[in-house]
Amino acid sequence: MRCGNAVFTWGERTYVMGIVNVAPDSFSGDGLSDADAAVAQGKRLVAEGADIVDVGGESTRPNYTPVSVEEELRRVLPVVERLARDLPVPVSIDTYKSVVAREAVAVGARMVNDVWGLKRDPALAKVAAENGVPLVVTQNQRDGRFRDFVPDLVADLRRSVQVALYAGVERGNIIVDPGVGFGKTVDQNLEIVRRLAELKTLGFPILLGTSRKSFIGLVLALPAEQRLEGTAASVAIGIANGADMVRVHDVAQMVRVVRMSDAIVRGRRF
C-alpha cells in the first residue's frame, strides 16, 4: 500500500501509528488544544519510531461531546498541514466527516481513519477514492447490539468494505479495524484480541487500536496513564494473531514491543 511517500508492505513487519489528539476531552488524558504542542508531539512520535501519525480533533471516548465541522476543522487543519509539510512519514486524519476528510487531504493528509466505518457519512469513501488515499474502516457498535459476536463483527466490516469499494476505493487502499472499545464489553474487547486472526478472512490488512483503552483499565483496575503494560500485552498478542498496524499513544515503548513481537512472530530482525 502506498501512503504518500511511504510504502506499507503487509506481512513483512508491523507498522506503528502514533496518536495526536487535538481534542481536550480525549479519554487517554493526552488531548491537546494548542496547535504548536500538537505539532511538537507529532514530531516527537516520529522521532520515537512512528511510521504514520494520526491526527484527530474529536474525542471518541464513550459519551463524548460531538463537535461541529467548523470546530473540528479549526482544530485539525493547522496541525495536519504543518505535520504533512515537516514530517518524513505520512499523516492520517481521524474523522468520520467527509468535509473534514476532504479539507485535511487537501492540506496534506495521506490516509483517512473513519471510526464509524462509513456508517455516519458514507460520502467519506468518495473522498478517499477521488484522492487515491488509503481508508481505514472501523467496526463501531455503539448504535446496535451483537447477536453472534465475532461473525457479526466480521459481517459488519464486510459491509463497510463494500461501501468503500462501491464508492471507488481500490481494494489495495482499504484497512480494517475491529474497533476495540467502540460499543463492546470488556469480554468482547478481550475476545477481539484473542480471535483477531479470524478477520484475515476479509482479505485486508488489520489495524488494532487497544492503547490505554478502558477494557485494560477495567481488567487491571488502573487509570489511563497507567495502562502501558496492559497495552503492551494486547499489542504483542494482537501481532501474534495477525495485526498489521497498531495505533498507540506511547510510541517509544510500543516500538520496542513491536520489534520484539515481530522477531518472534515473523522472524524479523531490525
- Show which residues are catalytic: 213, 247
Provide DSSP, 111-139: EEEETTTTSS-THHHHHHHHHT--EEEE-
Is the separation of the CB atoms in 108 and 81 below 8 Å?
Answer: yes
Q: Map grid coordinates 479470524 to a residue.
A: 198
- Ranges of H-type helices in 48-146: 69-86, 98-106, 123-131
Residue 213 burial class via C-beta count within 10 angstroms: exposed 0-12, middle 13-18, buried 19 and up: buried
Is the separation of the CB atoms in 156 and 198 below 8 Å?
Answer: no
Q: Which three cell numbers stand for residue 178?
A: 475491529
